[in-house]
Amino acid sequence: MEITLLGTGSPLPDPRRGGPATLVRAGGQTILVDAGRAVVMRLAGAGTLPVLLNAVLITHLHSDHITDLNDVITSHWVMTGIETPLNVYGPPGTQTVVDGILMMLAPDISYRLAHHTDTLTYKPKVVVTEVKPGATFAIGDVQVKVARTHHQPVEPTVAFRLEHDGKSVVLGGDGIPCDTLDEICAGADAYVQTVIREDLVKLVKNKRFLDILDYHSTVEQAAQTATKAGIKKLILTHYVPSMQPGQEDEWRAFAAKYFDGEIVLGDDLTTTTI
């Protein structure tokens, strides 16, 4: 099972980091989790394309996690040779978001159909499955479990656990520690968590920025969750504030206070295998 941090940025624009997105390859399946800024560019950097995706999983409907879902949909559509569905799984509300994206794309869709009359005779086909905590489903031979996470007032938000051939990874999305996250993480090989540096956030005396402290895991909290669950590899992403070059060891040290396993972090396209 191969895990690639496609985008490690946050809602704040960063020229070096795309928006939140993670790629999981397992058992011949290629699965995208969240679709932040520049995700299609990062997919290309990881050696794949939207047309090669078997599924897209959405943890929640915050704009920074779905802002480039429209690009995934369009790129998938125009690169297909025959009508091919793009399978999207996400919490309740995902269908409304996808319907809105397709409405926004309606002029572009009409232009392309009018121009490519011999080779493009079908509209984008996006098959949305809205999943609730406790749901299970399969993407090829990859088994997926869904659990509730705590990112209120964003509701609902979910984590996904992907399992294949005895290996497992949990993608926690945004949120703070909670019992249901502990449960889905229990015994997993790897845990991908978005994190903030509380000490650095508090240096910014802006109320709107400080508000993020109450609904995002700190580096330390992610490490504590990993230790409690018996995780082997902790993978950190969605760095707030943006992790600067040369700060990697500093961020890793905050996690190492509470977790003695392998800690993975870095730039976009950082890849690890379990």
Residues labelled as active-site residues:
64
Q: What string of DSSP letters covers 205-246?
A: --HHHHGGGGSS-BHHHHHHHHHHHT-SEEEEEEEESPPPTT
Place of tokens 């995208």: 32
Q: Which of 83, 47, 65 is nearest to 11 (CA)?
A: 65
SS3 12: coil
SS3 23: strand
Determine the Cα–Cα distance for residues 78 and 191; give it in Å rounded to an integer.
34
